[in-house]
Structure formats: structure tokens, C-alpha cells
Chain A
Amino acid sequence: ILNVEQSPQSLHVQEGDSTNFTCSFPSSNFYALHWYRWETAKSPEALFVMTLNGDEKKKGRISATLNTKEGYSYLYIKGSQPEDSATYLCAFRGGSSNTGKLIFGQGTTLQVKP
């Protein structure tokens, strides 16, 4: 059974704070790591797909790094805004078969207070 762990489970920050959270995944047989943003009452939306060790991706104030050798990815939000409040999901894709199955973490729920 593959385990994908995210920490912390929840986070409360003030507007303007920068924050980061972690996704841990199996370090062997890596294929891809996905990050999704999931607002309440909506459906998950893709942020990044990362495939290479050392990858860094950026979208506005949100960025992510990837370390496949040690099995972790960090998501950073610079200068958090209330509209960043959401659950952030990471999902691991192993490389043993070509089927596109993602294993999701339980998510980190971010609440940004104005």
C-alpha cells in the first residue's frame, strides 16, 4: 500500500503571512507528483504537475519544489490572501504501470484571516 502524507493537516495564518506545507511520498518508482487546490463547495483544480527531481514550479504567489530522492515536495504561498483559503492536495503517481492512477494525500486545509 502506497502512503502519501501531508502536513500539517490544517493551518491558520494572517493575511500577508507566507506559509508552506509538505507532501511526503514513496521515494522509489517515482513517476509524477501533482498539486491540486480545492476550494470549499468546488472541485479540485490542478496547480502543478512535477516530474523531475529538483523541479521548481511557480504560479503567481504559489510555488512548489520536488525532491524525488528523499520523497517530499513543498508548496509555498507567499503573502497569503483570504482567497488562498482552500484545501491543498498532493497526489503521487508511481511508475510501475501506465494507467494514470494517482494516490492522494489527505490534504492541508489553509485558512487565511483578513
Chain B
Amino acid sequence: NAGVTQTPKFRILKIGQSMTLQCTQDMNHNYMYWYRQDPGMGLKLIYYSVGAGITDKGEVPNGYNVSRSTTEDFPLRLELAAPSQTSVYFCASSYGTGGKETQYFGPGTRLLVL
């Protein structure tokens, strides 16, 4: 099992550009999440999904969009990149209700918006 994989590992964007961060898990987990991690801060939830076709906003959803067409994939879309979106992005997944089960994290995508 590869677990949770993310691509790319690192990306530089210009202000106003768009991109999609890819996330795939091979553990057949129902729940998937996108977090961002800023220096000195914990992980902030951007969006999450409880299953294919179902997504919902987390704490900091502005400027992002997601889709979940399959159980395995949960891409995160940045439409108009802004410097405030410079961060490290982590995708995670969990099985079952997602509360008592641990979340498994991908390796992260480092994004720099200039």
C-alpha cells in the first residue's frame, strides 16, 4: 500500500494563476481531508469529504475548491492564487466515522505564491 500520495511536492505560482493539488489514497477510506499548515500554527482544515460525491467546508475554505468523484481521489483546486495561500498543504484520509479512527497523512505539497 502506498497510503496517501500527493503531487506535486513543491510548486511556485504567480499571483492569479491556478493549479490543482492532487491527492490519492489506496486504503479504501471513506473520509478525506485537506489541511494547510502555516508557520507557528497547527493544521487548519480547508475542506473534507465523507465519501464520493460529498464534500463540505472546513475552517478556511475561501479561495479553494474540491471535488470527490471517486473514493481514491480528492483534488484541491486553487483558482486565483494569492500570497496568503503560500503554505504547506497536507491531504489525509481515515476509515469509518473519522472521529475515533486515526487520520493518515500524505507527504505534503509546499506551495509558494509570488
Contacts and interface: CB of A to CB of B under 8 A. Distances in A.
Given A43-B90, A44-B90, A51-B100, A101 B45 contact: yes
Contacts of A102: 45, 103
Interface in B27-48: 31, 33, 35, 40-45, 48
Nearest to B98: A100
B107 interface: yes
A63 interface: no
Contact of B43 (A46, A49, A104): A104
Contacts of B41: 106
A86 to B, nearest CB: 14
A40 to B, nearest CB: 12
Nearest to B88: A43
Interface in A1-29: 4
A98 B97 contact: yes
Interface string B33-68: 101000011111100101000001011000000000
A49 to B, nearest CB: 6
A105 B37 CA distance: 11
A98 B99 contact: yes
A44, A98, A105: residue with the most chain B Cβ atoms closer than 10 Å: A44
Contacts of A103: 45, 59
Interface of B: 4, 31, 33, 35, 40-45, 48, 50, 56, 58-59, 90, 94, 97-108
